[in-house]
Chains A and B, each alone.
Chain A
Amino acid sequence: MTAANMQDRVKNVVIIGGGTAGWMTAAGLASMLGQTGLNITLIESEAIGIVGVGEATLPHIRLFNETIGVNEAEFMAATSATFKLGIEFCDWGRLGDSYIHPFGEFGLANEGVAFHHYWRCMQDDAETAPDIGALDEYSLPILACKMAKFQPPSEDPRSVLSTYRYAYQFDALQYAPFMRDHAEKRGVTRIEGKVTHVDQDSGTGDILSVTMDNGQSISGDLFIDCTGFFGLLIEKTLETGYDEWSKWLPCDRAVAVPCEHEGTLLPYTRATADKAGWRWRIPLQHRTGNGHVYSSGFTSDDAATDSLLANLEGKALADPRQLRFVTGKRRKLWNRNCIAIGLSGGFLEPLESTSIYLIQEGVTKLLEMFPQTSNFTVHAEEYNRRMDLEFERIRDFLILHYHATERDDSAFWNYMRTMDIPDSLAEKIELFKSSGRVASYNHGLFLMPSWVAVYIGQRVMPQRYDWRADRLDKGHIKKHLSGLRNHMHQAAMSMQDHASYIQNNNMARRPVTAAS
């Protein structure tokens, strides 16, 4: 770098907001760039509550944690976390239906033909169908979910125990303090207080500084907006604009309440479709997180709350908490010298646990595109392009859950079932219906097993299968499937009990407190 460039070097990053997004961003930047002369300041106010977004996560969080040096056992204990091998969807295709979207494969591909084609081929034959069973029976993580088992995957690719991945379910209100502790140990400066004024450059519109309620002014080169739906910098200041997707994802409210944990500690999240949305249940070590995501156009707040409370599995531990949102994303997640991460950037509702994933991607892509100097137009364009792709591809996958339904028991489901969907999704569904094939993309979160799980789970059955499956003798396939099913069942049985694994590996609850 030249001396002139050194002068222009990005040295100060200011993060506004200290919830999940704020502290994940701070921890990510400090861990990866703290030693490069980057000063990171986070401003938050204890007077402003945090949404505590996302208690359930996707397997990608493990890479994030590993990259920034988080110790798994400490993290599990501090956030009262449990392991997660998938998401169960109840009542989505039809009332009474249930399937699990697993974090892993179905069976084994053979001769370049994905397993589900062989399964479909056998299921399609009246003679072989009774012995074949459901597709679920060929997924180790699904079997483990049903048996409440867990152990880390094997690193031996030949082992059936290597065919899954895992994520976590944790207390979001404990996660932010844990990340704060991690970030502060790596040099992040926390400032308590509210931002009352944002000072912009009169020419460029860039943010120069923020002023606190005590009059203190904090200047920076880059500002990260983690102020949640409020969008203090990205919207209130920079007026970036928002692309609404509520015509496809009309749920706009949520009500959440924790309850006492009862029964077996399950390694999966449950999403149960309701009359005008769906209810979540997330088992943690010390309690169960519950919520109801719904569309205010199709039900009232009171009715949604009643439905949530009526379906709790234990005694409520707090009053229900309401949340309002609009599904969609900012037109630019990186605008001028401000980057919106978390709810300030957009919200796609928590159906597939993508909220924390999108925060993580926001941080990771920022690290990849982190500018050396304040001339970052190109960085911003590339960052926005890649984040837009993430949002749009997740959006399509979420819409599939609502649209691929036979439910006609409420106005909400009638709307979802019959609405127009994005062309990109319509083409994917048509391809699967036609031949059981899944459209392939290199970028994007959800891969073939995820799409297959939801399609089959919600009764989108392919009219045909890959006819190369017929090249194998049906007796041979039947024998192979039977052996595989038994092998998977035995492997799942051999795994450890989920709760015992947590206890035996020093992961039992020890939350980080203010004093610690």
Chain B
Amino acid sequence: MTHIAPLRTIVLAGSGVRLALCAALIARHCLSEATKIIVLNCADADIVDADMILRPDMQRLHNDLQIQVDALQSRAKARAVYAVDCAYDGGRIALPFGDYGMARDGAAFHHHWSKGKGLGQPYDLDQYSPSLAIHHGKSQLPLAIAAQIGIGFGLQVDRAGYAQLLLAKARDLGAKIVSAAQVTVRKGSADYPYSITMDSAQFEADFFIDVSRSGQWAGSIGLAETGWQDHSLYLPYSDQPQGIEASHLYSAIQRFIDMLPTRGGGTAERREYNRLAQEQSERIADMVCLLGNDDKSISQRPALRRKIEVFQTCGRIPVEDYEVFSPAEWLTILLTKCGNPLHHDRLADRLSEQDLLIWLDQLRGKIGQLKRQLESI
């Protein structure tokens, strides 16, 4: 018979949205009669009094935690966003959350657009993006309308309000939330790997998660970099491009939950977590590097170099095992950096030139119509 020894106490320490998100998700999936979740809500060093962007994938978190649109609107002042603005090469570009146009005849839309350009159609690719049409539009869509029009969107939320909403959810789910002015973490006994002192109190933990941006406690227990080591986890932090912070954290926690160890176990799970986390961080670093437009750094990133070379040659965007950004986001920045590819996809030639121009015209017309309709709301 298998002996399953669940973790008895999981302790999280940090502040702000990072702590709240981690606490809510861990409480949702790990809390049980046998497992306590203790959340040490520390000083507000990590809280930035500003809005934050949540990418479309965060909708899964809200569904999982059963956070309703009303709550997001009233407590986190959420509004729909369809793209994020990023600094690039002295200027700014908008990375859309949704696709450009639609694929046809086995070729992605931008190949058809690229071919159309060659035939003299004058419009930029962003004219074919419903996401960018709304993003650049004048009005803000109410969330209820955004949910109805079938175009993927993210959220802009008030950081403090969102953190409070998530922390309240963690509390409702049964996590113990404790405000702490000073927390120290030390290696513990054979029975409990960590001993934690919080203000005047002291307690033991089977697993410790450092949710701070800077790894405030990780160093004291031998964690030099983000990742999972022994019985502790130091969660990653990324802030560029806009919106990636919450997604990166969310997927890291979700991955940890998927690999949740038992007491005394976890070597293979740890390796798998760290492998996947590393892959994801590399993809984010690829995007940051491309946005930074640093050719020397690009040359040292093989997956990114491959994306650029293949795109420049034939307009395709190679997909790695673990992508973080959508093809539309990569396309936007690659097109900005590299210009039009040398050739479009041969599959786009299946559509006659005449039909192509008619189709492009119709698509642009529909997007313009959508934009006008939404602006009239």
Contact = CB atoms under 8 A, between A and B. Distances in A.
A428 B318 CA distance: 25
B309 interface: yes
A463 interface: yes
A467 interface: yes
Contacts of B34: 470
Contact of B314 (A5, A32, A367, A371): A371
A463 B350 contact: no
A468 B29 contact: yes
Nearest to B115: A1
Interface in A171-206: none
B32 A471 contact: yes
A506 interface: no
A460 interface: no
A293 B118 CA distance: 54
A410 interface: no
B201 interface: no
A92 B318 CA distance: 38
Contact of B343 (A1, A32, A440, A464): A1
Interface in A431-445: 431, 433-435, 437, 439-443
A378 B314 contact: yes
Contacts of A381: 306
Place the interface of chain B in its size category: 35 or more
A385 B34 CA distance: 47
Contacts of A298: none
Contacts of A466: 260
Interface string A359-380: 0000000011111110000110
B193 interface: no
Contacts of A124: 1-2
Interface stretch (B147-155, B239-247, B269-277): B269-277
A427 B276 CA distance: 13
A217 interface: no
B316 A369 contact: yes
B356 interface: no
A75 interface: no
Contacts of B257: 112, 468
A38 B276 CA distance: 42
Given A440-B276, A467-B6, A378 B313 contact: yes
B268 A431 contact: yes
Contact of B262 (A385, A440, A464): A464
B321 interface: yes
A385 to B, nearest CB: 8
A33 interface: yes
Contacts of A36: 346-347, 349-350
Contacts of A35: 349-350
Contacts of A439: 272
Given A369-B314, A379-B313, A464-B4, A437 B259 contact: yes
Nearest to B31: A471
B347 A465 contact: no
A137 interface: no
A386 to B, nearest CB: 8
Given A124-B1, A463-B2, A368 B316 contact: yes
B4 A470 contact: yes
Interface string B310-345: 100110101111110000000000000000000111
A431 B32 contact: no
Interface in A1-55: 1, 5, 32-33, 35-38
A467 B260 contact: yes
Contacts of A38: 346
Contact of B30 (A33, A372, A437, A468): A468
A67 interface: yes
B368 interface: no
A382 interface: yes
A36 B105 CA distance: 12
A125 B309 CA distance: 56
Interface residues of A, number: 49
Nearest to A382: B310
Interface in A375-395: 378-379, 381-382, 385-386
B140 interface: no
A437 B255 CA distance: 12
A462 B269 CA distance: 13
Contact of A372 (B260, B261, B314): B314
Given A368-B316, A467-B4, A467-B262, A434 B349 contact: no
A381 B313 CA distance: 12
Given A434-B269, A435-B268, A468-B260, A378 B310 contact: yes
A430 interface: yes
Given A378-B310, A382-B318, A431 B323 contact: no
Interface in B245-296: 257-262, 265-269, 271-272, 276
A156 interface: no
A437 B269 CA distance: 8
Interface in A121-173: 124-126
B120 interface: no
B90 interface: no
Given A112-B29, A112-B257, A470-B32, A435 B265 contact: yes
Of A371, A427, A435, A439, chain B has the most CB atoms within 10 Å of the CB of A435
A302 interface: no
B91 interface: no
B122 interface: no
A126 B343 contact: no
A433 B265 CA distance: 12
Nearest to A427: B271
Nearest to A120: B2
A111 interface: yes
B316 A372 contact: no
Contacts of B322: 442
Contacts of B258: 112, 437
B343 A373 contact: yes
A123 B327 CA distance: 43
A111 B1 contact: no
A431 B259 CA distance: 10
A382 B321 contact: no
A89 B260 CA distance: 32
22 contacts: A1-B118, A35-B349, A126-B1, A367-B106, A368-B316, A369-B316, A371-B346, A372-B343, A378-B314, A382-B316, A427-B272, A430-B267, A435-B259, A435-B262, A435-B269, A437-B258, A437-B272, A442-B323, A465-B2, A467-B6, A468-B260, A470-B34
- 5 closest cross-chain pairs (CB), A and B: A36-B349, A372-B343, A434-B268, A431-B268, A378-B313
Interface of A: 1, 5, 32-33, 35-38, 67, 111-112, 120, 124-126, 367-373, 378-379, 381-382, 385-386, 427, 430-431, 433-435, 437, 439-443, 462-468, 470-471
Given A36-B346, A111-B29, A435-B268, 12 more contacts: A32-B347, A33-B350, A36-B347, A67-B106, A112-B258, A371-B346, A372-B343, A385-B306, A385-B318, A434-B269, A442-B319, A468-B30
